[in-house]
Amino acid sequence: MSHTFRVDLRGVVDLLSHHLYATPRVYVRELLQNAVDAITARRLSEPRADGGIRFEPAERTGDRTLRIHDTGIGLTENQVHELLATIGRSSKRDDLGFARHEFLGQFGIGLLSCFMVADEIRVVTRCGDHPTVLWTGHSDGRYTVVLPGEQRAEPGTTVTLVPRPGEEHWLTERTVRELAGLYGSMLPFTVRVGDATVTTALPPWEKAPGETSAARWARLSAYAQEAFGFVPFDVIDLAAPEGGVRGVAFVLPAPANPAVRVAHRVYLKQMLLSEGIEGLLPSWAFFVRCVVDTTELRPTASREALYDDSLLEEVRQSLGGNLRGWLARLGAGDPRRLRDFLAIHHLGVKALAVHDDEMLRLVHQWWPYETNVGQLTLAEFADRYGVVRYTASADEFRQMSTVAAAQRIPLINAGYVYDDQLLPRLPDAVDDVAVEVLNPADLTMRLDHLDPAGEAEVRPFRALAQRVLERHGVEVVVRSFDPASLPALYLLDGDTALQGDLRRARDDSDDLWASLYDAFTSGPEQRPQLVFNHRNPLARQAMSTGDEELAALAVEGLFTQALLLARQPLTPAATAAFNQSFLGLLTRAMGQQK
Ligand SMILES: Nc1ncnc2c1ncn2[C@@H]1O[C@H](COP(=O)(O)OP(=O)(O)OP(=O)(O)O)[C@@H](O)[C@H]1O
């Protein structure tokens, strides 16, 4: 024996209010949507029929109820039984069960959302010349249908909500006007709440006839302020015909976190679906907020999201194309503005460029980098010098930039956030570009060696300097390089610096921790280099003085000066060396004057 499922309406309402709809506010959207669909249905056979929707809030009805009147197609008695009293049954699907294109609704549950704020829903409806029908539904699942003596003067429907105790505030004029304005202000029908018309604004995606671009900018800027709370950096028109999408994107005037999911305002056939629709744009488009209208994309039953199907994917690609087009147009016609854009959004753009070639190309072409030959974009740098050569940290850049410039080695500072990940990836995204990292050790290799005679001459000095600087863990090197004004160069690469820090930490810790540090400090010890410059007159004097004590004081002094030039912190040992050298040299100088 077969039975029919029975539905516990209280359970269903609870499900809707707690798990489907994010807020009771949406009851206004669902009522509006039914009224719009009813007018649309009527106009299919009566194209000139009036299209009006009017809310009568609780203050005006005088009996605490809210009423909404429409001039739509209405329902016959049979339809009332079939459609209003059957959960999941909708007149907006075709014979095969597919949503009919011209309507907003399709699931046959929207009216139930009213039970979030109402205990009782009354529908008085008239379809054509059929008798007027009164349907009354209760939140406990009971309903009645009667044919009242009093007939409606015109076809159409009036829905009355009797508030749930404690939910009366949802039916007040202020709330209803706010919600009807939010969801319905762009509708192509007149919507009134009490005496006020809420459908007055020109939708942002429309262009008013004869509107100047300045006037349009002012209108859209005001819209962005009201809708999103910011004055946009720029406004981009959007269109994706495959999804019947029209809209505008507002470019954020301040940096945004690219990891935060971006939510947009989406209208379906000019009625607001939600202010929080995600996934409409490609993930890299973190720098805009959009308002769009779609005729083709499908909402989920909650209307808080769009179905993530292949159509949405196509739309996403098209809208991404719209944004790329804007960037390309700025690049071609207004590069200064593109740079202003990057000045705001470079961190986000760079974060995405770590994975996204498109964004990397944008960085390559437009973002100015600090280099030892002035500010240049990577494209300009590659054009001018052939190889994109960079240092992986700002510290290394500071140590090497002057000396490298003097050796005619142009160098980019890739020490800012994401740069050391972006530059090695450049050949993946840009054709014919060569990239090279320059380490301090590479730079030493490029500095001129002394000739054999010169080498032999400085050997004793090098040995002495090595002895003096041994406790600072420095390797002494002598080379000949420009600028000649620089007596000594301190070179330390990132790995060596880390190893040095770990070794110092190991030496200061107890046995247990020391063995742990050992795990990270294995391998041959890399040491920072102090490169004395044979081309510098003072350094050469120190190398050739026969006075060992003076030479040692000079070595300590030049070492600490090189540390300071490289902006390295002075360790206690280096500070002691500095004091010793400074005071020792002063004493010697004073002594000579006596
Ligand atoms: N104002 C109205 N005028 C005429 N018919 C209405 C009206 N409101 C509701 N209906 C009828 O009741 C049916 C059920 O409405 P309900 O809002 O529950 O679902 P829906 O609009 O079909 O779909 P969705 O759940 O997607 O909103 C509708 O399909 C429609 O036939």
Ligand 1 centroid distance, CA of 241 (Å): 28
Cβ 84 under 6 angstroms from ligand 1: yes
Residues with Cβ < 8 Å from 586, sequence gap 6 or more?
A: none
3-class SS of residue 56: strand
**Atom of ligand 1 lying closest to residue 90 CA:** 29
Cβ 155 under 6 angstroms from ligand 1: no
Question: Measuring from atom 10 of ligand 1, which residue has the nearest CA?
Answer: 34
Residue 513 located in a structural domain: no
pTM (2 d.p.):
0.76
Cβ 27 under 6 angstroms from ligand 1: no
Model confidence over 173-214: pLDDT tens digits?
A: 999 999 999 999 999 999 999 999 999 778 999 988 999 999
Instruction: Check whether residue 475 and residue 567 sit in a common domain.
Output: yes
Residue 135 located in a structural domain: yes
Residue 507 located in a structural domain: no
Cβ 107 under 6 angstroms from ligand 1: yes
ipTM for the complex? Answer: 0.98
Q: What is the pLDDT of residue 352?
A: 82
Residue 327 located in a structural domain: yes
| Cis previous bond, 483, omega within 30 | yes
Residue 519 located in a structural domain: no
Residue of 16, 82, 83 to mutate, ligand 1, most atoms within 8 A of C-beta: 83
Q: What is the pLDDT of residue 521?
A: 57
Select from 197, 228, 249 the last residue of a domain: 197
Instruction: Check whether residue 483 and residue 391 sit in a common domain.
Output: no
Ligand 1 centroid distance, CA of 450 (Å): 92
Give the helix/strand (H/E) hosting 460: helix 452-469
Select from 197, 229, 260 the last residue of a domain: 197
Ligand 1 centroid distance, CA of 512 (Å): 73
Q: What is the pLDDT of residue 343?
A: 92
Instruction: Check whether residue 436 and residue 453 sit in a common domain.
Output: no
Q: What is the pLDDT of residue 587?
A: 93
Q: What is the pLDDT of residue 125?
A: 97
3-class SS of residue 36: helix
Instruction: Check whether residue 50 and residue 185 sit in a common domain.
Output: yes
Strand-pair partners of 236: 249
Model confidence over 339-369: pLDDT tens digits?
A: 999 999 998 889 888 888 888 998 999 999 9
Cβ 31 under 6 angstroms from ligand 1: no
Instruction: Check whether residue 72 and residue 157 sit in a common domain.
Output: yes
Residue 136 near residue 162 (C-beta atoms within 8 A): no
Give DSSP secondary structure letters for 477-539. Answer: EEEB-S-TT--EEEE--HHHHHHHHHHHHHHTS-HHHHHHHHHHS-SSPP--EEEEETTSHHH
Q: Which amino acid is at 576?
A: A
Instruction: Check whether residue 118 and residue 235 sit in a common domain.
Output: no
Residue 349 located in a structural domain: no
pLDDT-flagged residues of the chain (< 70)? 17, 96-97, 494-509, 512-525, 593-594
Residue 497 located in a structural domain: no
DSSP 93: B
Instruction: Check whether residue 191 and residue 221 sit in a common domain.
Output: no
Instruction: Check whether residue 147 and residue 103 sit in a common domain.
Output: yes
Residue 415 near residue 396 (C-beta atoms within 8 A): yes
**Atom of ligand 1 lying closest to residue 303 CA:** 26
Binding residues for ATP: 30, 34, 70, 157
Print the domain residue range for 87. Answer: 9-197
> Count of domains in the chain?
4
Residue 501 located in a structural domain: no
